[in-house]
Chain A
């Protein structure tokens, strides 16, 4: 950039071109963040949506002895995306469970519209540190759900809290966000499954 023999105009143009390339590169970097972000999340353990949904497969029932002296409070929270014309609620808003025992709760969904709509629920656990200790054995969130107009369904969730749950955690919240799927889209979780199965 600093050849004093060149005329100022030439040097200026050269520097400006280099800087413009930096700008273009950084614009590209913004888009490169999309795949990089998933990668970084996996390496550093940040809970991206892909990581939260990717692991959602029914798990084999772990053979562990329940810990009858410990009770953990589970709260259920539901959100419906504004584009999805459904009602969606937990049948019960909080339960006390013994770690190591299998529990079942029911969620209620109703299609308020009169046409067929497909949606899928994305779960997340707060505090996030409890996520690996909360096993869903059967969940409506594993699949996309299709309701015809006006249909009302009960959707079961069978889950178990591992006795290995860190001692400090006495209460956790399972939150479901029900999203509308466009007809062309696959399930939310499906494209990411292979990437996250190694966990």
Chain B
């Protein structure tokens, strides 16, 4: 039986497909991983461009560049492109590349489904971009001015661009559900013989939990936006108060997805850190078992605290108290992860290559964002902070370090493995410093703006907020343009550079480092033995 499978596979191995067929028909986890990463990079620039317009508009009080509805459409578009277009596909790209190599599997468990889950994405992105573009044409209806949360009744009244957006969300959801099923099946069934669940590399563990979260919450969002579609076109009244529906119900459905979503964005990056920090500290990860436990705790509690996004809708005292306490409890396992990282570095022989710089910056800045999160979790305080720029500062401090910088660290860490070339360390460090400094100049002043009462999602502001907004927009330009350097580094590393050894980093540990850099098209056709 096994011999027949082998010969069958071999027939495929000898013809390495070329040209567009290689990519469109690809069932190879490495190629699909590359596609995911390139797609995410493209979306990062699109989402970044909308952020640049937002900050340019907010540079001065008054309305200069865009009209208010377009401004809110940009805010909506920025969020959706960054979350669904950039961060999630980038994390899925890392998973595709690394998981089979890390667990000693020849490929993902369901390679054709893998192809499908990637190739849905360009279609979804087209729908998403159309939802932004359509209102510019005659008869295109109104702009999507709801923000990414799509709250009714406003989202019921928006023109047909909302229908494009709803279908884009359906497609994006389908893509990430398929990818998640594939990842779970791979991790459960395709590990090299002898590798137990509790011996999996930490990146695999974080993705196992992430994938479970995805298949639990994305269908609920799909259901919610389906109801929205029905309310818009088929005369139902799920959320329409005129027909006895309740708009707050949508908020519950949305945040039942939306809160676990932040852990979906965070956890893969935590997985990256669990490899980067031990490598550059030259010590094994401190507290493997407690990391796994903490992650399961975060995922479980994270599923049941969603309504802390809705304190102001008028829930009973008992309900808000429950959501407040649940939210604050999450900081315990998250804190444990942070302490584990610090303990891993403790007395290690540390060096500070670009991935490690990002890792240390993440620990500092993510902790900072976590603390402002605890402030927001407290009900009476949140009544003041709700929907202010403080919230914007908070979630950018958790999502940029917690998700995006973690992915940057992963890209720098594994680029030598993927391309076979070392990136230019000096350029990497320049990118790190401009990126981090730009980020902090952009978002740190927004805390003060929010505390002083500047609301979010509003195009104009009181002149008293001018100075901090100028500073923030100035930082945003540094931050935004620093990503061109990232693009240059990635392209030049793909094209050439110093040859990378199989073990590109001397402190690196794991099956993926026993393969050549770059790895051959098919790897681990014979499963490795786990000692």
* Smallest CB separation, A117 vs chain B (Å): 12
- Chain A contact-residue range equals 35 or more
| Chain B CB within 8 A of A188 CB | yes
- B291 within 8 Å of A by Cβ? no
Closest to A48 in B: B246
**Are A19 and B220 neighbours in the complex by a CB distance under 8 Å?**
no
| Residues on the B chain within 8 Å of A31, using CB | 223, 227
Contact B181 A44 (CB under 8 A): no
Stretch at the interface among B36-44, B47-55, B312-320, B499-507: B312-320
- In the assembled complex, B123 has its CB within 8 A of some CB on chain A: no
Which of A8, A15, A122 interacts with B184 by CB under 8 Å? A15
Q: A15-B188, A49-B241, A185-B243 are in contact. Are A23 and B215 (CB under 8 A)?
A: yes
Whether the pair B244, A15 counts as a contact (CB closer than 8 A) is: no
A residues less than 8 Å from B110 (CB atoms): 12, 16
> Does B253 make an interface contact (CB < 8 A)?
yes
B220 and A27 contacting across the interface, CB-CB below 8 Å = yes
Contact pick for B242, options A8, A26, A179, CB 8 Å = A179
In the bound assembly, the distance between CA atoms of A37 and B247 in angstroms comes to 12
Chain B residues whose CB sits within 8 angstroms of the CB of A16 once the complex forms: 109-110, 113, 181-182, 185
Interface string of B175-218 (1 = CB under 8 A from A): 00100111011001110000000000000000000000001111
- Docked complex Cα distance between A30 and B222 (Å): 8
Interface mask (B145-175 → A, CB under 8 Å = 1, otherwise 0): 0000000010001000000000000000000
In this complex, what residue of B is CB-closest to A26? B219
Q: Does A177 contact B (CB under 8 A)?
A: yes
Contacts of B245 in A (CB 8 A): 49
Alpha-carbon separation in the docked complex, A46 to B318 (Å): 9
A30 touches B224 (CB 8 A): yes
Name the residue on B nearest A45 (C-beta): B316
Q: A30-B222, A33-B252, A188-B244 are in contact. Are A44 and B316 (CB under 8 A)?
A: yes
Q: A26-B219, A33-B253 are in contact. Are A15 and B185 (CB under 8 A)?
A: yes
Query: Is chain A's interface secondary structure helix, strand, loop, or mixed overall?
Result: helix
- B249's partner among A11, A34, A45, A47 (CB-CB below 8 A) is A34
A191:B244 contact, CB within 8 angstroms? yes
Contact with A along B293-329 (1 / 0, CB 8 A): 0000000000000000000001110110000000000
Q: Are A19 and B181 in contact (CB-based, < 8 A)?
A: yes
Number of A-B residue pairs with CB-CB distance less than 8 Å in the complex they form:
126
**Residue B11 CB within 8 A of the other chain:** no
Q: Which of B314-350 contact A (CB under 8 A)?
A: 314-316, 318-319
User: 1/0 per position for B239-275, CB-CB distance to A under 8 A?
Assistant: 0011111111100110010000000000000000000
Q: Is the CB of B189 within 8 A of A82?
A: no
A26 touches B248 (CB 8 A): no
Q: In the complex, what distance in Å separates the CA atom of A45 from the CA atom of B317?
A: 9
Judge whether B222 and A27 touch: CB under 8 Å.
Answer: yes
Given A8-B190, A26-B215, A37-B252, A44 contacting B241 (CB threshold 8 A): no
Q: Is A1 an interface residue (CB 8 A)?
A: yes
Kindly state whether residue A153 has any CB partner on chain B within 8 Å. Answer: no
- A30-B219 CB under 8 A given contacts A15-B185, A19-B181: yes
Docked pose: A68 CA to B184 CA in angstroms: 69
Which single residue of chain A is at the shortest CB-CB distance from B318? A44
Evaluate contact between A46 and B216: CB separation under 8 angstroms: no
Q: Which of B182, B216, B226, B253 contacts A22 (CB 8 A)?
A: B216
A108 lies within 8 A of chain B by Cβ: no
Q: How far is the CB of A33 from chain B (nearest CB, A)?
A: 6
Asked if B238 is at the interface of the complex by the 8 Å CB criterion, the answer is: yes
Q: List 28 A-B contacts (CB under 8 A).
A: A2-B188, A8-B190, A11-B189, A12-B109, A12-B110, A15-B185, A16-B110, A16-B181, A16-B182, A16-B185, A19-B180, A19-B184, A19-B215, A23-B177, A23-B218, A27-B220, A30-B220, A30-B221, A30-B222, A33-B220, A37-B246, A37-B252, A46-B314, A49-B245, A181-B242, A182-B242, A185-B242, A192-B244
Known contacts A27-B220, A33-B249, A81-B242, then 15 further A-B pairs from the complex at CB < 8 Å, ordered by chain A residue: A12-B185, A12-B189, A15-B184, A16-B185, A23-B215, A29-B219, A30-B221, A33-B220, A44-B318, A46-B248, A49-B241, A49-B244, A120-B242, A179-B242, A188-B243
What are the nearest 5 A-B pairs in CB distance?
A30-B223, A179-B242, A45-B316, A26-B219, A27-B219
